[in-house]
Structure 1
Amino acid sequence: MKIIKPILTTLLALHLGLGIAQEVTSPKVHFGFNMGDDYMLANYTKMESYFLQVAKESNRVLIQPAGLTEEGRQQYLMVLSSPENLKNIEKYRSISQQLGRAEGLSDAQAKELALAGKPLVWIDGGMHSNETVGSHQLVETFYQLAQSKDPEIVNYLDKVVVLMWHVNPDGQELLADWYMQYPDQQQRNMDIPRLYHKYVGHDNNRDFFMFNMKEAENLAKVMYVDWLPQIVYNHHQTSPDGTVVAGPPYRDPFNYVFDPLLVTGIDGVGISMINRLHEEDKPGYVRSDQSTFSTWWNGGLRTAPYFRNMIGILTEITGGPTPSAIPVVAERLTPRNGLPYPVKPQEWHFRQSIDYSVSLNLAIIDYAARNGDKLLYNFYKMGKNSIERGNQDTWTRYSKYADQVSQLYEEALRTGQEEKKELTGYYRSKHIPKAYYDRVYENAANRDPRAYILSADQPDFGTAIKFANALIKGGVYVYQSTADFQLNGKQYPKNSIIVKTNQSFRPQVIDMFEAQDHPHDVQYPGGPPVRPYDAAGWTLAMQMGISYDRVFEDFQAPLSKQPYGVLLTPPSTTVAKSAAGYLIDARANDAFIVVNDLLKKGVKVFRDSQRANFYVAASAQATLAEAAKKYGIQIVALNQKPTQLKPVEKLKIGLFDQYGGSMPSGWVRWILEQYDFDYELFYPKDVAAKNIKNYDLLLFVGAGIPSANPAAGGYSSRQPKGELVPASYHHLLGSLTADKSLPILKEFVQNGGKVVTIGSSSTWVYDLGLAITNPLVETSPEGKQVPLSSTKYYIPTSILAADIDTTKAENYGMPAKANIVFNNSPVFKFQESAAVYSLGKISSATSLLSGWAHGQSYLKDTHIGLAANYGQGKIVALGPEITNRAQAHGTFKMLFNQLYK
C-alpha cells in the first residue's frame, strides 16, 4: 500500500538504537520519582521526553509522530516488540491490514498470513486526565517492555507487537501541572479551572465515530487506516465502590451488528485478565452483572473498535496520587460470579493501582502471545463474514423483530387462528411455530441494505460529504459516481456518494445509517426497565440530517472507489454574473460560514424573508465564486432582486461557562469557531456584576441557568476550595442562583437583550410568568411538583422525530420534519400567542427513531422549542440537544439562525 514506505521511513528515522543493546533510563532517574509514588504526577512534556529518550536507548522501541493535538502538542505511536520483529515491522503491519480488510483472500491464504503474522495489541492511557492511573501505567508498562530481561516479557515481545498511545497530552499537561503546583502535598488537588481538553473534556471519549477533535482524528488514522490492531485496551477510572477494577466480560446488551466471534473474543481476553490477577493474589476484579458497563454504544475509544471487528477492552480502576481507601460495601464482601475474589477494605495507594494495571496489560499481551494465529485469523474471519453479509440478503436480529414474532403469535392466539398450547421443554418455554419467524426474519422489507446512496443534488451536500468523511476517517471506504446514473427509477447526478455494506467494517456502516434498537428489558416480569448504560441511539446519518436511499440489491453504476483514509472534497460550483445579485441557499450549513466571512469583509448580507435564503449584491461575485469553489454550496444568480429583504447583522455573543468548564459549552465553542461566529465567554461573576450588558445575546448550553423550581432540575456547579485557587482564576469562580441571577437575566432581556438556551438551561422559561409549564412532572404525595419517576419516563441520548415550523425565522433552512437528539431534554406546554410561539413539536406518542425511550407517550403534543417576546427583548428556548457533541448537524441551523439580528 502507498502508506507503508513513508511510515517505515519515519519509524526508522526516529529509532536510533535498532539492534543495539543499551541501558534504558528508568522512570525514577528521568522523573525523579517512581510511577505510582504518592502525591506525585508527571506532566506530558516530561513524559514525551521520556518516550523519546527510551526510543533512542532501547532496541525494542520504534516511535512515530502521529499528529498534533488541539493545543499543538505532538502525539506519538510507540511500537514495542523484539528487535527482530521491528526489523520486519512493515511485514506485520501489512499482514494485519490484509487480514482486517479481508479483501481478495481465501481461507487458506488467510491462515498462512495468520501464521506468518504477529498480533497487534493496542494499549493506551491518559484519555481522561483526572484518571491519572491510565497515563502513569503507560509509562511504567513502556519501561518494563523496553528493557526487562524477564523471560516472560522477552517471549511476549517475540510473539506480539504492542502499540502504545497517549490519548490526551493537553489534559495531562494541565492536570499534572495544576496538581504539582502546591508545595504542601495535603493541598494537592485536581480542581482544575477548565476542561482537561481544550473543548470537550470528558467527552473526548464520545468522538470516536465523528472524529471532530484532532486527537480523535489522529487516533483514527493510526488505528483504522494504518495499523488495524486486533485488541484495543482502553484504561479508565474508577471502579465501583468496594472493588479495585471493573473489566470484561460486560453486561448485556451487546450491539446486534457485532459478529459473535467478537463477543466471545472479549470474553476470552477477560478471562485471561482476571485469572492473572488471581494468580498474583490481586483481588477486587468485578465483572458482568456486578459491573455497569455494556458493549452497546458507539463513539468511545473502547467501543468504536467493536464495529471494526476489533476486541475492545475497558477497565475502570480505583486510585490516584492522593491516597484513598477501599470502603466497606456489604454486598461486595461475599464472593459471587461477578466478583469471585472480593478485596479487603483498606487504605489504597497509587502504586497498587499501577501494579494492577501493568498486570492487566501483561495478561492481554499474554493472551495475544498464546493465541496470536487465532486472533489474526478470526480478525479475517469476522471481516469476511461482514463482506459476505453485505453481498447477500441479511437480516440483523434486532430486538424489535423478536418482539414482532411474539406479537404476531399472540395476535393469532387472540383471534383463534392458533390454538393455545401447553408450555414445553425443560424450562417450560413458549414454542412459537416457525412460520411466524419466517414472516419476520425472511420478510424482504426487513433486510439490511446492501448500499446507501447520498445523492449529490440534496440541498446540503456539504454536510453529506462531512458525514462520508467521518466514515472514511474511521476506515470505511466509499465510492463516488463519476457520471450521472439511474437506479430504481431515480436519477442520481455525478459526484453522488455510495457506501456499500460488503466490506469488513460493515458493522460501522450499518450502525451509522440504521436506527439503534436498544432492547426494552425489565428487571423482572412487570418490573421497572433496565436503563441503558450510556447513549442508546446515535445514528449519525439521522443526526446530521442527510438524505440517503437504501439499496437492497447489487447494482452497476459508474463509480470510483475512494482510497482508504483519503477524504472527499465538495465538488466546486460556479457563480454566473448577475446584475440583480445572488441568493445563497440557507439549507446548507456551510452557507453560514460564507455569510460570516462576508460580514467580516464588510459585505452587506440580507435575508430573503420569502425564501429564507441569504441575498448578496452583484458586487460580491468574486468573493462568492471563491466560496462556491471551496464549499460547493449553491449560489443562484438572480434575474431580479427580491423585494422582501431584511439586513443580516452580527450580534455580540456571550457564551456561558463556569469554573471547571462545561462540555456542552465547549462543544459549542468548537462549532462557533468552525462556522466563523465570533463570541466571548462569560462567567457567573459577570452576571452578578451585570457585565453581561455588553452583549447583544447570551447563549446558555446544557446546565447553565438554574430554575426556581427544583423539579425542573438541570443546573449544577462544581466549586473548589477558594483558598486553593490562584488569584488569576478567581474571576471564574461562583455559581448562578435562582434568587440572585435570574432577576439579572430577566432584566437583561427586558432591556432589549436576547437569551438563547439549549438543553437543560431552557427550564428557566417555566419561571418567567409566561404560562409555560413542564409536562414531565407529577404531584408527589406531599403535594409538591416532582419530576416523573424514571420507572414511568426516562429517555437517555436517543433520536426522536419532531415537526418544525418552517415559517418562523428562527427555523429558516430547516426541513418540516427533523430528527432531534434528545437526552431527558426539557419540553414545554403553553398556548401560542403573539408573545410566545412554538418552534417545533413532538406530535406523536411514538416519536422514537433510534435508541430507547421509556414513557415516550408523555411527549405527545409537547413543544420542543419556543420564542418569547419579553419586555423589549427576546428569549429562544430549545429543549433538545440541537448541538449534540458537534454531531447533530441537522439541527445546527436552529442555533445559527438565532445568532444574527
Structure 2
Amino acid sequence: MKKRYSIVLLLLFVGSWIAKAQQLDQTYNQKIKDFTTDKRFLPESLLDVVDHPTIPSPLKHFGHIIGAEGHVHTTDKIYAYYQKLAETSPMVHMQEMGKTEEGRNFYLIVIGEENSIKNLDFYKEQTALLSDSRKTNPTQAEQIITKAKPIYYLSAGMHATEMGSPEMMMELAYRLVTSEAEQIKEIRKNIITVINPVSEPDGWDKQVDWYYRYTKGRELFDDGFPRSVPYWGKYVFHDNNRDGLQVSQAITKSIFKGFFEFHPTVMLDLHESVPLLYISTGTGPYNDFVDPITQSEWQVMGNHDVAEVAAQGMPGAFTWAFYDGWWPGYGIWVANNHNSNGRFYETYGNAGADTYLRDLSTSRYAGDLATSKEWYRPDPATPQVLWSYRNNINYTQTGVIASLSYAATNGKQLLRNFYKKGFNSVEKGKTEGPKGFVIAKEQRDPAMAAYLANQLMVQGIEVHESDDEYLILSEQPYRNLLVSLMTPQSYPKDAKFPPYDAIAWTLPNLYGVEVDALDVIDSKNLSSYKLLSEEATYKGKIDGSGSTFILPYHAQNTVLPALYALKQDNKNANISVLKKTEEVNGKSYPAGSVIITKSNSNQIKKISENFGLNFHASSTDFSKIDQKSVNLPRVAIYHTWFNTQDEGWSRYTFEQRGIPYTSIDKDDFKAGNLKSKFDVILIPRVRGNAKTFINGVDSKFGTMPYTKTSEFPSHGFPSSTTDMTGGPGFGGIENLRKFVQEGGLLIALENSAAIMSELGLAPELSAASSGSLFHPGSIVMAKIRKSDSPIVNGYPEEFSIFRGNGPLLQTNKYNRDLMLVQYGSKPLKDEIPYEGPILGMPDKAKSEKTKAKEEKSKPYVVAGMVRNEQEIIGHGTVFNVPVGRGNVLAFTFDPLHRFLNHHDAPMVWNALINWDRLR
C-alpha cells in the first residue's frame, strides 16, 4: 500500500512538473503577435512557445524574443545560447566543425529525443552504411532502415544580408526541445535534426556590425544606401554559395565535413530574396546526373511544404518559378551530388531587423508577376506588403517545421530512397559507360593532374593510383557525380528560362588535364593499383647534369610561384625565359622555357619537388640563345568598395599560388606615383560601368568608415578605409593612366576591361555589339592570333577557355594585331578574304587554303551552350594595347573565375613573367 502511494505521489509530481513545463509563455507569444504586421502572416501553430522552468527561452536568455524589432545577435551570442540549451537539455548536442578564415568557430547543433543524442554515433553509422551499396546489400539495407533515423540538416546564414534564419533557428531549437505539440514530438522521436546555425560566421558578424553601425532604423528600404557590408568572408562574398566544386573556402569545407560525418537524408538551406516564401523545385532543366528519385522528391517535398503553409492560412508561398536545378556547385548540392536531397527556401528579408513597406508589384519570376495567382502559387501576396523581421521568422519557421514533419512522417521512405540512389549509381557503373577514367601523371602540367585526382577525392570519389597514372572506376556510389565532372555538359538550347548560373563545369577542360574515358577496364591490371588514402602529389624531377637548369614551359600553373620562391631563397639567382622555341643539343625547348643560372641543384630540387616541375640540368652555354631576363614584378590588386566579389577570388588565387601582391583601393589611385610602387596593377572583374567605377559608393550618404573599433570589432578586414564613399575620381583615373604611360602593365579582367575602354585607358578598344548573343558560363574554343606574344606561351594554337555573359571589345581592322587571342576558329566577317569577281581583274576560284581552313574549323562550344554563337566567333578574347611606355592587357573573359578555370590562369602568369616585354 505504501509503495503504491509513493508511485501515485511520484506520478502526481511528474504530472505537475509537465503541466508547469508546458505552461505557455504568454509574454513571448504576445510579443510574436506584436511584431507581426498581419494576422495572416502568423499561424496559430507558432503561438505555443512554452515557459519551461529549466530550459531558457530566447526571451529569458536575451531579454527579447526572436524577431524583435531592432535586435540581431553576433555569433558569440548565438553560440552561447545554443551552449545554454546543450547544458540544460539532454536532447541537444553541440559540436565544433572547424574554423573560418578569420578564426571564428563553425558549429553544428544536433537535436533529437534523448535516446537519439545518447546513441548519435550509432545513427551516424547507419546512414553511412546506407550510403554504400557495395558494403550493404538490399536485404541488409532494409534491416538497417527499420532501426535507423533520417538525419535532416538545416543550414542558415550563408549570405550575410539574409538575416532571418540564424535568428529563427534559435527559436526553432527551443521549440524542438520544449514543445509537447504532437507534430514536434513526432519530429523529436522520428528524426535527428542537425542545425548549422550560421554558415558564414565571418560575414554574419560583419553584417551585424554593419546593421548597428549604418542601417538600423533607416526610414526606407529602397533609399540607395548600401544594405550590405562590403566584405563577407575574407575572400568570397555572395559566391560562398558557388564553391561546391572547388571546395576552397572554409565555409564549404565545413559543410562537406558535416555531410560526410552525418550523411543527412535531406539538407535544407535557408535564404532570403523572394517574396514571400519560395520553396525550391526549380523550373528546370535539371542536372542530367541527379537521380530521378531526387528530382521527384523535390516535387513531393516542395508541394507538401506549400500546402502546409497554405493550410495555415499564410499567403505568398510558392514553388517552381525560381532557379533551374542545373549547376552542381552550390553548397547544399553536396547532398544532390551524393545521393541525398538538397533543397532551399527563399523568404523575404529586409537585411536587418526593421519593418518596411515593400513593393512587389513589378517583381517577376519565370515571367509571371509575383502577385499573380498560378498553379504553383495558390495564394499570392498583395502588390505591397508591410514586412517586418518577425514576419520573416514566422514564414521560415513554419516552412521548416513542415519540412521536418514530412521527414518524420516519411522517414523510412526517405532512407530507402537514399540507399536506392547509391545503389543505382553503383549499378550504372557496372552496366553503363564510361567504366572508368584514366589520368596520366605525366602531362603538360603534371601538378594539375594530381590536383584533379585530389578534387575528386574531396568529393568522396575513390581514386586508385599506379606508378604512371590515376584510375577512377565508375562502379562506386558517386558514379553520377564522377561522370558529371569528367565529361562535357550539354545545356538544352531551347530551355524556356535562362539558367540560374554557369552551365558547364568539365574539370579536365577547366584544369587543362588530359583524361581518357574507358569503355572497358579488362585491359587494366587492377592489382597494380592502390586506393589513394592521402593527398596525391607530383614531385618534379631533375635530369641531366650541369650548372644551368632549364624548365620546358607548357603554361604550368606553378612556374611563376616557383620563381618567386627561388628568388626568396636566393636573390642572386639569374632567371630568364626563351623568346621563341629553340633547339639545344637535339632537344626542343618552347618559347617561355625558363633558364636558371647562379643557383645550385639543392635549390632547384626544392622548387622542383614543391611545385611539381621537371627541370633539365645542362652544361651547355645558353647565353647566346635569344632570351629575356625575368624581372619579377611588384603586383597590386585593386578593389572597389561597392563590389568586392571577384577581387576576393583574385586575392585567393594569388595567395594559393604563392604570388605576392598588395591590395589597393581608390585612395591609392588618388595618391598617385603608382609606378614608383608597382609594376603591374590587376583590376579584377567588377560590376557596373565607367560612371560607377569613377564615383564608387555615393558620397551623398556622408563619411562612411570601414574601420575596426571597440563597438564594431569585425570591421576593417580584410581591408580598411576611413571613408568608403566616392571612387578614385577623374584624378585617380589620370594617375592610373600615368602608371601605364610610365611603363606599367594594367591587366583588366572581363567587365573591367570594358570599363577601361570606356575610360579611354585602352584607347584602341571600343565596345562591340553582341546582337542576340546569349553566352552563359560555358567552356568554348579560342584560337591564338599572335603566336609570338609571350601571353600565349605554353598554349597550343587552339584551346578551351571558360566564358560567361560579358562584354565584347573590338578594334579597327588595321589594329587587329592588338588581338592576341580570338573566340572560335573562324575570323571576323570583315577578315574573310573576298572570293567573288573583282572588276578589272580576271575571275579566280576559291583558294584551296580557304577551303582547308573552313574544313578544319572546330565547334565553338566544348561544354554548355551558346545561342547565336556567330555573334562572338572571331572577336577578341585577349587584347594587348600599348599606351605610352606601358601596356593595357584586356581580357574579355575572367581567367581567374572562382578559383575554377585553372587552365586559363597561366595567361595572367605569363603577363607577370613578361610584364616588361609586351611591346
From 104, 119, 132, the equivalent of 1:101 is 132
Aligned CA distance change for structure 1 residues 300 and 721 (closer, same or farther; 3 Å):
farther
Following the alignment from structure 1 to structure 2, what is the Cα–Cα distance between the partners of residues 874 and 752? 7
The one-letter code of the counterpart of 2:511 is M
Determine if the alignment matches structure 1 residue 583 to structure 2 residue 528.
Answer: no
- Aligned to 1:101, what secondary structure does the other structure show? coil
Which residue does the alignment assign to 2:232?
196
Contact 2:277 2:316 in 1 (8 A): yes
Aligned CA distance change for structure 1 residues 574 and 822 (closer, same or farther; 3 Å):
closer
Determine if the alignment matches structure 1 residue 682 to structure 2 residue 695.
Answer: no
The one-letter code of the counterpart of 1:286 is F
Matched residue count: 784
Cα deviation digits, residues 191-213 of structure 1 (max 9, x gap) = 45532111110000000111011
Cα deviation digits, residues 9-31 of structure 1 (max 9, x gap) = xxxxxxxxxxxx98223223333
Which residue does the alignment assign to 2:151?
120
Contact 2:286 2:326 in 1 (8 A): yes
Contact 1:40 1:180 in 2 (8 A): no
Which residue does the alignment assign to 2:39?
none
Cα deviation digits, residues 491-514 of structure 1 (max 9, x gap) = xx2xx1122222221221122111
From 586, 589, 609, the equivalent of 1:629 is 609
- Aligned to 1:594, what secondary structure does the other structure show? helix
Which residue does the alignment assign to 1:293?
323
Q: CA deviation at 1:591?
A: 2.4
TM-score when scaled to structure 1?
A: 0.82
Q: CA deviation at 1:641?
A: 4.1
Contact 2:751 2:892 in 1 (8 A): yes
TM-score when scaled to structure 2?
A: 0.81
Following the alignment from structure 1 to structure 2, what is the Cα–Cα distance between the partners of residues 733 and 203? 24
Which residue does the alignment assign to 1:473?
458
From 490, 498, 501, the equivalent of 1:531 is 498
Aligned CA distance change for structure 1 residues 133 and 190 (closer, same or farther; 3 Å):
farther
Deviates more, 1:258-267 or 1:298-307: 298-307
- Aligned to 1:251, what secondary structure does the other structure show? coil
Following the alignment from structure 1 to structure 2, what is the Cα–Cα distance between the partners of residues 497 and 727? 48
Query: Is the radius of gyration larger for structure 1 or structure 2?
Result: 2
Contact 1:700 1:758 in 2 (8 A): yes
Determine if the alignment matches structure 1 residue 839 to structure 2 residue 839.
Answer: no
Q: CA deviation at 1:67?
A: 1.2
The one-letter code of the counterpart of 1:591 is V
From 889, 892, 896, the equivalent of 1:879 is 892
Following the alignment from structure 1 to structure 2, what is the Cα–Cα distance between the partners of residues 656 and 532? 30
Contact 1:685 1:733 in 2 (8 A): no
Aligned CA distance change for structure 1 residues 733 and 696 (closer, same or farther; 3 Å):
farther
The one-letter code of the counterpart of 1:309 is N
Please, which runs of 5 or more residues in structure 1 have no aligned partner? 1-20, 394-447, 484-492, 524-529, 778-786
Aligned CA distance change for structure 1 residues 328 and 378 (closer, same or farther; 3 Å):
closer
Aligned CA distance change for structure 1 residues 696 and 334 (closer, same or farther; 3 Å):
closer
Q: CA deviation at 1:797?
A: 1.2
Determine if the alignment matches structure 1 residue 136 to structure 2 residue 161.
Answer: no
Q: CA deviation at 1:318?
A: 0.3
From 730, 735, 743, the equivalent of 2:727 is 735
Cα deviation digits, residues 600-644 of structure 1 (max 9, x gap) = 232432223343122222633222222333343212222324333
Determine if the alignment matches structure 1 residue 799 to structure 2 residue 779.
Answer: yes
Cα deviation digits, residues 798-821 of structure 1 (max 9, x gap) = 111112355321222334332211
Cα deviation digits, residues 506-540 of structure 1 (max 9, x gap) = 221122111221111265xxxxxx32222122222
Deviates more, 1:882-891 or 1:326-335: 326-335
Determine if the alignment matches structure 1 residue 354 to structure 2 residue 393.
Answer: yes
Cα deviation digits, residues 833-857 of structure 1 (max 9, x gap) = 8995332122346411111211111
Q: CA deviation at 1:152?
A: 2.3
Aligned CA distance change for structure 1 residues 160 and 285 (closer, same or farther; 3 Å):
same
Contact 2:422 2:478 in 1 (8 A): yes
- Aligned to 1:619, what secondary structure does the other structure show? coil
Aligned CA distance change for structure 1 residues 248 and 619 (closer, same or farther; 3 Å):
closer
Which residue does the alignment assign to 1:726?
705
Contact 2:773 2:872 in 1 (8 A): no
Aligned CA distance change for structure 1 residues 87 and 797 (closer, same or farther; 3 Å):
same
Contact 1:806 1:815 in 2 (8 A): no
From 358, 363, 388, the equivalent of 2:402 is 363
Contact 1:703 1:715 in 2 (8 A): no
Which residue does the alignment assign to 1:14?
none
- Aligned to 2:337, what secondary structure does the other structure show? helix
- Aligned to 1:123, what secondary structure does the other structure show? strand
Contact 2:694 2:727 in 1 (8 A): no
Contact 2:574 2:598 in 1 (8 A): no
Aligned CA distance change for structure 1 residues 70 and 450 (closer, same or farther; 3 Å):
same
Following the alignment from structure 1 to structure 2, what is the Cα–Cα distance between the partners of residues 818 and 195? 35
Which residue does the alignment assign to 1:12?
none
Contact 2:150 2:191 in 1 (8 A): yes
Cα deviation digits, residues 204-227 of structure 1 (max 9, x gap) = 00001110112212221221x322
Aligned CA distance change for structure 1 residues 582 and 451 (closer, same or farther; 3 Å):
same
Pairing 1:719-798 to 2, within 5 Å after superposition = 719=698, 722-723=701-702, 725-726=704-705, 728=707, 729-735=721-727, 742-763=733-754, 764-765=756-757, 768=760, 772=764, 776-777=768-769, 788=771, 792-798=772-778
Aligned CA distance change for structure 1 residues 172 and 561 (closer, same or farther; 3 Å):
farther
Q: CA deviation at 1:768?
A: 4.5
Cα deviation digits, residues 128-150 of structure 1 (max 9, x gap) = 00110122222222222233333
From 250, 256, 266, the equivalent of 2:288 is 256
What is the aligned-residue RMSD (CA, Å)? 2.7
Following the alignment from structure 1 to structure 2, what is the Cα–Cα distance between the partners of residues 640 and 833? 43
Pairing 1:596-615 to 2, within 5 Å after superposition = 596-601=564-569, 602=571, 603-609=573-579, 610=581, 611=590, 612-615=592-595
Q: CA deviation at 1:673?
A: 0.9
Pairing 1:805-844 to 2, within 5 Å after superposition = 805-830=786-811, 836-844=817-825
Contact 1:31 1:42 in 2 (8 A): no
- Aligned to 1:890, what secondary structure does the other structure show? coil
The one-letter code of the counterpart of 2:577 is R
Contact 1:586 1:613 in 2 (8 A): yes
Following the alignment from structure 1 to structure 2, what is the Cα–Cα distance between the partners of residues 62 and 347? 38
Sequence identity, in percent? 22
Which residue does the alignment assign to 1:323?
355
The one-letter code of the counterpart of 1:606 is S
Which residue does the alignment assign to 1:452?
437
From 262, 270, 276, the equivalent of 1:244 is 276
Which residue does the alignment assign to 2:264?
229
Cα deviation digits, residues 547-605 of structure 1 (max 9, x gap) = 11111123333454546xx5423143444684322123443212222211112232432
Aligned CA distance change for structure 1 residues 704 and 272 (closer, same or farther; 3 Å):
closer
The one-letter code of the counterpart of 1:682 is I
Following the alignment from structure 1 to structure 2, what is the Cα–Cα distance between the partners of residues 743 and 705? 19
Deviates more, 1:299-308 or 1:36-45: 299-308
Deviates more, 1:510-519 or 1:100-109: 100-109
Please, which runs of 5 or more residues in structure 2 have no aligned partner? 1-51, 363-368, 582-589, 708-720, 827-858
Determine if the alignment matches structure 1 residue 306 to structure 2 residue 276.
Answer: no
Which residue does the alignment assign to 1:414?
none
Determine if the alignment matches structure 1 residue 520 to structure 2 residue 520.
Answer: no
Q: CA deviation at 1:720?
A: 7.0
Contact 2:697 2:724 in 1 (8 A): no
Q: CA deviation at 1:686?
A: 2.8
Following the alignment from structure 1 to structure 2, what is the Cα–Cα distance between the partners of residues 355 and 269? 19
Which residue does the alignment assign to 1:396?
none
Following the alignment from structure 1 to structure 2, what is the Cα–Cα distance between the partners of residues 561 and 55? 44
Q: CA deviation at 1:742?
A: 4.5
Aligned CA distance change for structure 1 residues 365 and 595 (closer, same or farther; 3 Å):
same
Determine if the alignment matches structure 1 residue 497 to structure 2 residue 470.
Answer: yes
